Chains A and B, each alone.
Chain A
Amino acid sequence: MLTLSGVGKRYPTGDRALTDIELTLPKGQVMALIGPSGAGKSTLIRCVNRLVEPTQGSIRLEGTEITQLSGHKLRQARRSMGMIFQEYALIDRLTVMENVLSGQLGYVGFWRSFLRRYPQEAVVEAFRLLARVGLPHAIDKRADALSGGQRQRVGIARALLQSPKLLLVDEPTASLDPKTSRQIMRLIRELCAERDLAAIINIHDVTLAQQFADRIVGLRAGEIVFDGLPSELTSEILTTIYGEEDWDTTPEPMEDAVVDERDTKLRLASAVPEFAAGSVR
């Protein structure tokens, strides 16, 4: 359904963000995009809906070449791709309902949206979506009055009101607590299944990615270094994506506290020169 071939992005500063990306996403597949900060994950999904202009390659969504579109055609293509953002990107001073209805902007004219006179079906659908994500009571609250998890639910409802074929999800859980993160991921997962939506989810949390995605793609320095099933993600592969680290043991939070006094002295003496040289792993 979505095909990227030879996609590259070089910023005007000369930094290469993406190199020769080849990716095909079938209908209904939830794909997690993992990789270290600065690997080009955000750039990649922004190239798909042209919030960032790719500098080479082709991106096709159901047969439409997206890189060639402009003006009205580009806006039509954008409305078929719902986007969910890190830190929610809701319009703080608008109400929850206005935020959800802004998902209709690609379908209605300026004056309708200016006067907030959306078609009745759109309002019905917006309310249904808000009820689905569990916020029917919040329609008239201002978006900045909600908690993080609630805001992300509004963001999801906004994206779905576009009746998208594809969801582009940029770090949906980056500012949420672990429990809310899981709830949000589960919600996205369920909604994709209900509507047979494909999704690309950028995510830092590898465990969440493994748990909720059908497929995992690893990006390092703008290139795809892994593409496979969540179960195929081993420590070696994580090392190729993120670099050297002990992937199998979880650090004990109490470890440092139990080290006794003499040990601290020794450790400090050895740590100081290293610190002075400014070496940060």
Chain B
Amino acid sequence: MSERVDAQMQARQYAARKGQWRRLPLIHDPRLRWGIAIGAVIYLLLALASVDVNWARVAEGAGRAANFLGAFMQPDFVSRQNDIVAGLLESLTMTLTSTVLGVLLAIPVGLGAARNISPLPIYFVCRAIIAVSRTFQEIIIAILFVVMFGFGPLAGMITLAFATIGFMAKLLAEDIEDLDWRQVEAIRATGANWWQIMNHAVQPQVMPRLIGLSMYRLDINFRESAVIGIVGAGGIGATLNTSLSRYEYDTSAAILLIIIAIVLLCEYSSSHVRRWTQ
């Protein structure tokens, strides 16, 4: 075996001397290599063939979709203006408060969930909090909180804050685990205490990412606020749900356009902020 590898290596070296060289393939055995590639293609074709499409239903649905899209061509911002403004304000309030609250709560959890700076018991507790927060989709948490706190934006805000904790704490903990340890050592060597190490060595390294993620979470929370409104957690989602159930597609279209505009705005401003904090 090793003789064969040696011989192959020598052959490659002599070939390289003549200028003939190709990169070594990832999978050495050509039969296995081609077998895997062809197998994957066949599986993909079979999987596509197994999808059952009811063309009659598609044709019928296409007409409805055309109606719906037609309504979008004439969005109606005016006739339900008061509802839209109220829903929007409620959503924006919910978004901002839940993001601020969620990020503030996520910072201690994130510190505790970083293996390199926290003791094992705290690490497990914080990872458990993250896991619980991330296991359930926002809608499920929203249903729970609507049952607990009644309809309205309070349930929505708590839902979004809770979801923010899991998201932010996980990504913050991962960022802390990747930090440049020499900088931490240097601050420890000055005789700094734990809080000073966090403030001088960890915070400067993770701050740009923390700000970037908070901006990103702000925009996720706004989008989610539109979704959880449908299950009764207030905000623009409730307004959207009402308009859809009244078949006022022109109002729905207006609401969706506003959501798109706000998300775009968040997108541009967050990339700007990220560049500025680097």
Contact = CB atoms under 8 A, between A and B. Distances in A.
Interface of A: 49, 51, 75-79, 81-83, 85-87, 89-94, 102-107, 110, 113-114, 155, 158, 162, 168, 268, 272-273, 275-277
B13 A105 contact: no
Given A91-B183, A113-B199, A162 B204 contact: no
Contact of A91 (B191, B193, B195, B204): B204
A119 to B, nearest CB: 15
Contacts of B207: 93
Contact of A276 (B6, B195, B196, B199): B6
Contacts of A103: 190
A103 B189 CA distance: 9
Interface in B164-212: 180, 182-183, 185-193, 195-196, 199-201, 204-205, 207-208
Given A87-B182, A89-B185, A89-B186, A110 B199 contact: yes
Given A102-B200, A105-B196, A273-B10, A90 B183 contact: yes
Given A75-B191, A113-B192, A272-B13, 13 more contacts: A86-B182, A87-B182, A89-B183, A91-B183, A91-B205, A102-B200, A103-B190, A105-B190, A113-B199, A114-B196, A168-B189, A272-B14, A277-B6
A9 B180 CA distance: 24
Query: Which residue of B187, B189, B208 has the most chain A CB atoms within 10 A of its CB atom?
Result: B189
B189 A51 contact: yes
A75 B188 CA distance: 8
Contacts of B6: 276-277
B9 A162 contact: no
B190 A51 contact: no
Nearest to A277: B6
B64 interface: no
Contact of B191 (A86, A162, A273): A162
A91 B196 CA distance: 13
Nearest to B181: A89
B188 A113 contact: no
A42 B185 CA distance: 13
Interface residues of B, number: 27
Contacts, number: 93
Nearest to B6: A276
Given A110-B196, A113-B196, A276-B13, A91 B189 contact: no
A78 B191 contact: yes
A90 B205 contact: no
Contacts of B200: 91, 94, 102, 105, 113
Nearest to A268: B17
A149 to B, nearest CB: 18
B187 A105 contact: yes
Nearest to B194: A110
B13 A102 contact: no
B190 A78 contact: yes
A75 B193 contact: yes
A162 B186 contact: no
A162 to B, nearest CB: 6
Interface in B1-50: 6, 9-10, 13-14, 17
B183 A110 contact: no
A275 B188 contact: no
Nearest to B190: A105
A83 B180 CA distance: 17
Contacts of A85: 182, 185-186
Task: Name the 4 nearest CB pairs between A and B, nearest first.
Answer: A106-B191, A79-B191, A105-B192, A89-B186
B204 A276 contact: no
Contacts of B180: 89
B10 A94 contact: no
A93 B204 contact: yes
Given A105-B187, A114-B199, A272 B182 contact: no
A276 B10 contact: yes
A36 B9 CA distance: 32
Given A93-B204, A114-B199, A102 B187 contact: yes
A115 to B, nearest CB: 10
A175 to B, nearest CB: 12
A220 B149 CA distance: 69
A83 to B, nearest CB: 4
Contact of A81 (B17, B182, B189, B195): B189
Given A83-B189, A110-B195, A91 B201 contact: yes
Contacts of A89: 180, 182-183, 185-186
A168 B185 CA distance: 13
Contacts of A105: 187, 190-193, 196, 200
B131 to A, nearest CB: 27
A276 B190 CA distance: 49
A90 B191 contact: no
A86 B181 CA distance: 13
Interface string B66-83: 000000000000000000
Contacts of B186: 83, 85, 89-91, 155, 158
A102 B188 contact: no
